[in-house]
Structure 1
C-alpha cells in the first residue's frame, strides 16, 4: 500500500512538473512576440483602382498590433479618419512572419490585410471587401514607430503648404494692343496657400492673442488649429487636412478622438482660432503641381 501511494505521488509530481514546463514554454513563446506590439506606420498606396473615380492615391496608415495569443493576432487599422479593429492569424515561414487580419466587415470601407514582417519591416497588401470601391487594393511598407505626445513638434519649414483640394478656375482675358485682334481667353487653376507663419507659431505652447491671428489667412488658421490635433495623433477624415500632415515624419495617426488629451492652453487656442476662422478669407493663387 505504501509503495502504491509513493508511486502515485511520484506520478503526480512528474505530471505537475510537466504541466509547469508546458505553461512556461507557452509563456516564453508569447514573450518572444511582444516586440511586434505597437504602431507600424507608413504609406498606404493605391494599387488597383478606378481611374475615373476621385480618390487619394497615398494616405498614411498605422497598423497597431495589440495582442498575440498563440497564433491569434488582435490589433487596429487607423487610416484616413477611420479606426477599425482587426483580427486574424499568423504563422512563421522561413525567416518571415506571415499575417492575415480582417476588419469587421460591417462598413463599406472594410477589407483584409495580408502582410509579412521581416527584418523590422511590415510589408503587405490590403484588399477591399467591396469590389465597387474606387480603390480595391492598396500596398504598404511600414516601420515600427512609437507615439508620444510632444507639444514642441512643428511642421517642416521647407515645404509649400498649398490646398490642392480648393481648386478654383479663373478666366483670364488678355487684351491685345491691336484693336482688330480678338482678345485671347484662357483658364487658370488657382488654390489657397499658407505662408511660413504656420511653421513659426506653436499653438500648443504659446497662448495665442488676437494680434497673433488678425492678419492670418483662413487656411493658416486652420493649419495652426489642426497641428494641435496632429501632435496628439488625431486621424483626419478631411482630405484637405490630411495633405498637410500625412507626409510629416513625426505625425502618427492613433485615434479618432483626442479631445480628452488636449491641454487647457490648447483648448483655449482652438476656440480663438475657430472664432477667427469664421471671418477670415483666403487669397487664391496659381501654383505648379
Structure 2
C-alpha cells in the first residue's frame, strides 16, 4: 500500500517542481516595434550652411559659408535617426518629427560631446528642408547658422570632373612677397609686401585619375596644387567629407559633390589606388605657382 501511495505522489511532486521553476523564470518583455513613417524623406539633403550675418560681415568669410549634408535614416512616431556632415565632421543626430496638419518639422540634436555640436530646427517647405542650427557653445565664432537643403541622391560616378569655368586659387594658403621697382633715376624702390596665392593649371580639367591609369609623363611637370586636386577629386567622387579648408573651398561649391563620410579607403578602385600612389610620390617634390590675385 505504501508503494502505491509513493508512486502516486511522485508525479504530483514532479509537476509541483516544474511549476515552481516556471514561476521563478524571468518574464520576457515584449518589445513593440514602431512602424516607420515618412520614408519619402529618407536620404541625403544637401545645401549651404551659412551665417545670418554673412552679408554684413566684413572679414574673411571662409568659415561662414560651408556645405551641409543631412542623411535621414529612420523616422518613427517618437524618433528620428539621422547624421550630419559638415567641414569633415560626421555627427549622429537624434530627435523627433512633428506633423501638424501636414506641416512637418524636426528637432535634431547632436550628442554634445564635441566642440561644434548643436541643435537643428528644421521645417519642410515644399521640396526644401530649411531651418537654423544653434551651437551648444555660444562662445563659438559662428554660434548660429541657417541652411536650405534639397534632397540629393548620392552615387559614385567616375566621370565627374571639376567645372572648368572656375579658377582654382588656394585662398587659404599664401606667402608675402615684396615687390621691387627700379625708378627712372636708377634707384630701387621696395614696395609693400603683397600676398601671393598658389593656383592650379588647366591640367586638372584634363586628367581623370578615376578612369585612366596615369603615367609619369602625364604628371611630371604639374604643379603641386594640380597633383593635390587631381588626387582629391577621386575622394570627392566617393563622397569624402574634406576637413582641410583648401579642398572644402574647391569642392563645396560644386553641384555634384555630396559629403557623405570621413573615410572612403574601402571604396577606391584598383585604378584609383594605383594613381594615388603615383600622385603622392610626385607631390613630395613638386613646386607651386604663386601669383597675386584680387579677391
Give TM-score scaled by structure 2 length: 0.84
Partner of 2:217 in structure 1? 211
Partner of 1:221 in structure 2? 227
Residue pair 1:48, 1:135 contacting (<8 A) in 2 also:
no
Partner of 1:8 in structure 2? none
1:71 to 78, 81, 87: 78
Q: Deviations over 1:223-270 (max 9, x none)?
A: 000000000000000001111100110000001111000001100100
Distance 1:243 1:112 in 2: 25
Distance 1:221 1:184 in 2: 34
Residue pair 1:169, 1:190 contacting (<8 A) in 2 also:
yes
Q: Deviations over 1:74-116 (max 9, x none)?
A: 1000011110000111212354211111000111111110110
CA RMSD of aligned residues (A): 2.0
Deviation at 1:173, TM superposition (A): 2.2
Q: Deviations over 1:11-46 (max 9, x none)?
A: xxxxxxxxxxxx9xx74xx34x00000000001112
Residue pair 1:55, 1:134 contacting (<8 A) in 2 also:
no
SS in 2 for 1:220: helix
User: 1:219–1:75: structure 2 CA closer, same or farther, 3 Å change rule?
Assistant: same
Deviation at 1:184, TM superposition (A): 5.2
Partner of 2:52 in structure 1? 47
Partner of 2:87 in structure 1? 80
Partner of 1:98 in structure 2? 105
User: 1:207–1:53: structure 2 CA closer, same or farther, 3 Å change rule?
Assistant: closer
Deviation at 1:48, TM superposition (A): 5.9
Structure 1 position 111 matched with structure 2 position 118: yes
How many residues matched?
261
User: 1:204–1:108: structure 2 CA closer, same or farther, 3 Å change rule?
Assistant: same
Distance 2:191 2:119 in 1: 50
Partner of 1:234 in structure 2? 240
Distance 2:206 2:294 in 1: 25
Residue pair 2:180, 2:189 contacting (<8 A) in 1 also:
yes
- Counterpart mapping for 1:45-194 below 5 A: 45-47=50-52, 56-179=63-186, 183=189, 185-194=191-200
Distance 2:176 2:87 in 1: 27
Deviation at 1:118, TM superposition (A): 2.0
SS in 2 for 1:47: coil
Q: Identify the range of structure 1 (182-191 vs 224-233) with the bigger mean alpha-carbon deviation.
A: 182-191
Residue pair 1:233, 1:253 contacting (<8 A) in 2 also:
yes
1:255 to 222, 241, 261: 261
User: 1:129–1:48: structure 2 CA closer, same or farther, 3 Å change rule?
Assistant: farther
Q: Identify the range of structure 1 (266-275 vs 88-97) with the bigger mean alpha-carbon deviation.
A: 88-97
Residue pair 2:75, 2:97 contacting (<8 A) in 1 also:
no
Structure 2 runs not aligned, ≥5 long: 1-31
SS in 2 for 1:154: coil
Greater Rg by CA: 2
User: 1:53–1:108: structure 2 CA closer, same or farther, 3 Å change rule?
Assistant: farther
Deviation at 1:52, TM superposition (A): 7.5
SS in 1 for 2:235: helix
Distance 2:286 2:188 in 1: 39
